[in-house]
Amino acid sequence: MTVSQNIKMSTTLATVTVTYNPALAELEAQLRALPSSSPKVIVDNASQTECWIEVEALVSQFQNVHLIRCDTNLGLAAAINQGVQWLATLTPTPEFVLLLDQDSEPKPGSITALLEAFRSLKAKGYRVGCVGPLLEDPDTGLTHGFHQSTRWRWTRAYPATDSPLPVPCANLNGSGTLVPIALFEQLGGLDESLFIDHVDTEWAFRVTAHGYSLWGIPKDGLK
């Protein structure tokens, strides 16, 4: 089942959010934080009927939202792929897609910071694959840092939350990842054999194996 709410075109940014029995307050906070002009796709992984009805009612209050309801829980990767595939049918197709969990809320300015960082890094000659925000725990205020790797082990970098400097990464958390739709399609989307765990890790390895780089953007971030 699909339901659209007056989709308008944005040639820059679109978003895909996967839901499964979401907390309505968290989903509402996310929708309010996203750019009103950007197409937003919510792919629901077979939430309970009562919850789905509440999601429909919530979404009806917003513009530029397209709902896709799956008959069964397909898992995170397959649901995201469905959302991006729908965005790819738009004319013109948005340049970037921002991938989100149902409980993620971009801070003011964070999406702009991601877009600007991507373009700045590309202008400097980097073959940028994806950029992602610094994640913050809303309860503790602590950040999750960024994954890096050495020859011997995985490490984490913990930049200041107001740092303007991009951080090279070995992996990015799936929620908050900004990726060009053309690259997402070129690499075949996410691996649907992975239900939830390691979806972002496998994607990161595939991106870097094709010669693209991953970058963490500390400024503003996601909670």
- Mean pLDDT of all residues belonging to the chain: 89
Angle between helices 49-59 and 24-33 (to 10 degrees): 30
How far apart are the C-alpha atoms of 72 and 103, rounded to whole Å? 21
Q: How far is CA 194 from CA 20, 90, 117, in A?
A: 17, 27, 30
For residues 43-65, average pLDDT = 94
Residue 59 token pair: 């979404």
Confidence of residue 3 (pLDDT cuts 50, 70, 90): very low
2-6, 88-92, 198-202: least confidently modelled range: 2-6
For the chain, which domains are there? 2-222 (3.90.550.10)
Beta-bridge mates of residue 97 = 14, 179
For the chain, the distance separating the N- and C-terminal CA atoms, rounded to the nearest angstrom, is: 30
pLDDT in tens, 97-148: 999 999 999 988 899 999 999 999 999 999 999 999 988 777 777 777 787 7
pLDDT of residue 220: 66
| Prediction pTM value | 0.90
pLDDT of residue 10: 59
pLDDT of residue 67: 95
